[in-house]
Amino acid sequence: MFSKTCEYAIRATVLIAMEGRHGRRMSLVEIARSTGSPQAFTAKVLQQLARSGILDSTKGARGGFDLPPAKAKKVKLNMVVKAIDGDHVYKGCGMGLPQCNARKPCPLHDHFQQVRDDLRHMLESTDVHTLSLGLERGTTYLKR
Amino acid sequence: MFSKTCEYAIRATVLIAMEGRHGRRMSLVEIARSTGSPQAFTAKVLQQLARSGILDSTKGARGGFDLPPAKAKKVKLNMVVKAIDGDHVYKGCGMGLPQCNARKPCPLHDHFQQVRDDLRHMLESTDVHTLSLGLERGTTYLKR
DNA sequence: TGGAAATCGGACAAGAATGTCCTAATATTG
DNA sequence: CAATATTAGGACATTCTTGTCCGATTTCCA
């Protein structure tokens, strides 16, 4: 569904949001460890998220990544997905046609419509702050 | 959503089903041309589908691939997807956790549930024969 | 003010997905 | 039976994704 890179991005963002609730900032090392993601690669992903304005990053000693609650409430999943994978997932054609729309639909177009709309709606209405709550309560998990 | 390979597979299968309605068999060359897919690669995809029992293939001159209507009605999209991509799309975890289930869910698990169920249901209830009808009527298309 | 701790970013490496090419096998047809 | 048309399948090539490494830069702190 999403690229592996995007999965790392989502995991990291939710985790950082959880720490952000306590005003804490996380280092790359902690993030990679807690999400079970390869460190160097995660660094790239975090950079992308920071450049996209989704995360705040601070360089230098005691630096790291953070996402304060106020901001986390405004960061919807679709922003993360879009920053990494683009919006192809919930906009592109299920059969891969470059131009597929209501006027010239692929055979799957109508059947896919609802699924895609559902997905898009879910991604647009789910914010990172909400997702971080379960993590904190211990009712959801980031590593197997 | 699906791999490119899987997209080719779906396109080809629907096309072949359309021809199958007239008792016709299609050659690789025709299939690749009509779906706008690379020929040699499409050959591999068709082989996979034939080996999976989704298509019937005939070797030799006047050979090709075919899918008679009776069979096309029984071939659901999920079979094609499963044969090529596996069932990861509508079974795997949205955040990529190897073990994610109701007992130990990822933060997205519940939010994803509905989308995945929708997708699974759509794939399981849509058969290739039905999809081929629109193509034949000219209300749906396989190439941009 | 210098060393340590951290992100940034570019270059490179490994692996997976996609795509091509060639030969073998098989069936049809003249 | 020979020539031709076609799928089967292995080996290889290319491109994209995923992943590593290293030096530069920035910031903190003793």
Output DSSP code: residue B96: -
CB-based contact A14:A132 (threshold 8 Å): yes
Mean pLDDT, rounded, for A109-126? 96
**pLDDT for the residue B6:** 98
Summary mean pLDDT of chain A: 97
Q: What type of residue is A116?
A: R
**What average pLDDT does the segment B105-110 reach?**
97
Asked: is A4-137 a CATH 1.10.10.10 domain? The reply is: yes
Looking at residues A13-18, what average pLDDT do you find?
Answer: 98
Tell me what pLDDT residue A144 has: 74
> Quick check: B58 CB within 7 A of strand D?
yes
Name which of B34, B18, B10, B11 is nearest B134 in CA terms. B18
Q: Is the CB of B5 under 7 A from strand C?
A: yes
| Res B144: pLDDT | 74
User: Which protein residue's Cα is closest to nucleotide D29 at C1'?
Assistant: A61
pTM of the model: 0.96
Closest residue to B109, CB basis, from A7, A77, A140: A140
What average pLDDT does the segment B95-111 reach?
96
pLDDT per residue as tens digits for the range B115-139: 999 999 999 999 999 999 999 999 9
Q: Is B72 a residue whose pLDDT tops 90?
A: yes
Sequence ranges of the domains in chain A: 4-137
Asked if the model's pLDDT at residue B27 lies above 80, the reply is yes
For residues A20 and A68, the answer to whether their CB atoms sit within 8 Å is: yes
**Distance between A59 CA and the closest CA of chain B, angstroms:** 28
Could you tell me the pLDDT band of residue B142, with boundaries at 50, 70 and 90?
Answer: very high
CA–CA separation, A114 and B45 (whole Å): 28
